[in-house]
């Protein structure tokens, strides 16, 4: 497989990265792809969150859930004060407590929150897990459907079966491998072509409109101001709906074109993924040159490589080997 991202220090090639990418319509017609990408399996990881929210969406008439609360349910949040407050609101609507979240704890992704906990000698709780919004939404879905709360992560639980059915339906495939995600929930691997179809559906399917609008209205809740999915949604003024997953994965839906794009950097380097995303979106015309350049002004997305003295010491260069379907 040919390298896609070439990383230079000075004029010397220091590293290379391979990647897969696929663009699909809502019906599964492939528009473009990188070679050997179509049938390659990729775990969605946290990019599955909008679809894991769907069983709750199907019963949304039972509860008044705000757009901001939908956004936190779909989020990989940074555990800032607003985000934690929203998780608490969803838990309250579920009549559940932090102790019932089964995602486990980790340090907040938000540096200020992490520092505050450390300075106050406070141990992070499951609330601070970036997936706690998703888990709170799962508890709420169980509550309104009268499903057991204590076993909500088990693959055979009605909630997880409903989520699997959702992934199969919108992805247009039964070829799904299931494993366990970092937060303990079932995680799905499916062919890249079907993953791209998922995000085309997120962009255009009427039944996913509310979830899409929540994400594009509140992109900072879905991630944070430093995250590529948040920044892409903000730069496109809501025309692109995006969600990252761990290990170099991202899914993006184009509302105007009703198409989906998925990208997987094979070595799992998220910093490389983020830069590649911008190059691909500009190449596809999903972002204008000005929008792409604005994103590159952020240090974490810069094409140039800077050292600690803020000197340019190298660059990232991209080869985008699109081929027809």
**CB count, 10 Å around CB of 217?**
15
Each domain of the chain, given as residue ranges in start order, spans 5-318
DSSP-derived secondary structure letter, 323: B
**CATH number belonging to domain 5-318:** 3.40.710
Confidence band for 325, pLDDT divided at 50, 70 and 90: low
User: Alpha-carbon distance 171 to 144, whole Å?
Assistant: 26
Q: Give the pLDDT score at 324.
A: 73
Which residues does 269 contact at the CB level (< 8 Å), separation at least 6?
Answer: 17, 248
pLDDT greater than 70 at residue 315: yes
- HSE-up of 169 (CA within 13 Å, CB side)? 14
What is the percentage of the chain residues whose pLDDT exceeds 90? 92
Q: Using 50, 70 and 90 to split pLDDT, how confident is the model at 64? A: confident
Half-sphere exposure of 190 toward its Cβ, with a 13 Å CA cutoff?
Answer: 27
Instruction: Tell me what percent of the residues of the chain surpass a pLDDT of 70.
Output: 99
Residues whose CB falls within 8 Å of the CB of residue 111, separated by 6 or more in sequence, listed in order: none
pLDDT of residue 298: 95
Q: What is the pLDDT of residue 57?
A: 87
Average pLDDT of the residues of the chain: 96
> What is the tens place of the pLDDT at every residue in 114-127?
898 889 888 999 99
- On the question of pLDDT at 22 being above 80, the answer is yes
Task: Quickly tell me which residue has 């366990």 as its tokens.
Answer: 180
CA distance 236 to 250: 16
Strands 12-17 and 240-245, bridge-based pairing? unpaired
How many angstroms separate the CA atoms of 80 and 61, rounded?
29
> With 90 as the cut, is the pLDDT of residue 63 above it?
no
Q: What is the pLDDT of residue 192?
A: 98
In Å, how far are 176, 209, 220, 229, 245 from 256, measured between CA atoms? 28, 13, 22, 18, 23
pLDDT tens track for 34-55:
999 999 999 999 999 999 999 9
Give the residue carrying structure tokens 């997880």: 160
pLDDT tens by residue, 178-206: 999 999 999 999 999 999 999 999 999 99
pLDDT in tens, 74-98: 999 999 999 999 999 999 999 999 9
Whether the CB-CB separation of 156 and 220 falls below 8 Å is answered with: no
Q: Is the pLDDT of residue 99 over 80?
A: yes
Range of lowest pLDDT (21-30, 53-62, 171-180, 210-219): 53-62
The string of pLDDT tens digits covering residues 142-162 is 999 999 999 999 999 999 999
């Amino acid at each position: 497989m040919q390298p896609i991202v070439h990383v230079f220090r000075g004029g010397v090639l220091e590293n290379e990265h391979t990647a897969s990418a696929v663009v699909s319509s809502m019906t599964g017609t492939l528009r473009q792809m990188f070679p050997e990408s179509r049938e390659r399996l990729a775990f969605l990881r946290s990019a599955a969150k909008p679809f894991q929210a769907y069983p709750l969406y199907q019963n949304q008439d039972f509860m008044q859930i705000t757009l901001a609360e939908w956004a936190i349910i779909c989020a990989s949040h940074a555990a800032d004060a607003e985000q934690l407050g929203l998780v608490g609101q969803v838990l309250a609507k579920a009549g559940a407590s932090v102790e019932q979240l089964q995602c486990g704890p980790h340090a907040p992704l938000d540096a200020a929150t992490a520092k505050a906990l450390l300075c106050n000698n406070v141990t992070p709780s499951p609330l601070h897990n970036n997936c706690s919004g998703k888990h709170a939404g799962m508890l709420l879905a169980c509550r309104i459907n009268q499903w057991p709360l204590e076993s909500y992560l088990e693959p055979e639980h009605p909630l997880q079966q409903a989520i699997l059915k959702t992934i199969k339906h919108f992805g247009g495939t039964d070829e799904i491998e299931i494993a366990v995600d970092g937060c303990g929930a079932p995680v799905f691997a499916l062919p890249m072509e079907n993953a791209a179809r998922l995000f085309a559906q997120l962009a255009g399917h009427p039944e996913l409109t509310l979830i899409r609008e929540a994400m594009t209205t509140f992109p900072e809740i879905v991630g944070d101001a430093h995250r590529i999915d948040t920044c892409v949604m903000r730069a496109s003024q809501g025309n692109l709906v995006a969600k990252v997953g761990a290990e170099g994965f991202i899914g993006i839906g184009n509302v105007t074109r009703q198409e989906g794009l998925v990208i997987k950097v094979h070595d799992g380097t998220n910093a490389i993924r983020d830069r590649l995303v911008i190059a691909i979106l500009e190449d596809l015309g999903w972002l204008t040159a000005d929008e792409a350049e604005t994103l590159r002004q952020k240090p974490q997305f810069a094409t140039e490589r800077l050292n600690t003295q803020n000197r340019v010491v190298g660059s990232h260069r991209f080869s985008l080997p699109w081929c027809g379907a």
